[in-house]
Amino acid sequence: MELIEVENVRSVRKASIRLSSGVNFIYGLNGAGKTTILDSIAIALYGTDWLKRRRIRLSDLVTMGASVGVVRLLININGRRYTVQRAFTREKVIEPRPT
């Protein structure tokens, strides 16, 4: 994974985290958004199935005052780059349309 972008998810209004190769650490004070970043990765990869297992509601994920939350991952596998994106409202996941 090269890049994590999170918009309007819990307390994170907008974050862009570039990862280096090897092991990366996410650290910070309590309430800084570490768990939100990890949850965002899982949401992007596993969608609502993961949310159900964790008993997390979409309505709890979208930042107060925002209408849509977005998670975007840039993944490099053997030199090929892929973008994984999930957008969601308080009620449902917005399925991406092929372009």
Q: Which two structure tokens, joined as six digits, stand for 20? A: 């280096």
Mean pLDDT within 27-54: 87
Say whether pLDDT at 46 is over 90. no
- 11-21 in b/e form (b: 16+ CB < 10 A) is ebeeeeeeeee
Tokens 């409202």 -> residue: 89
Q: Which domains occur in the chain, in start order?
A: 3-20+29-94 (3.40.50.300)
DSSP assignments along 19-30, one per residue:
PPSS------ST
Exposed/middle/buried for 43, CB within 10 Å: 0-12, 13-18, 19+? buried
pTM of the shown model: 0.84
Q: Judge whether residue 97 has pLDDT over 80.
A: no
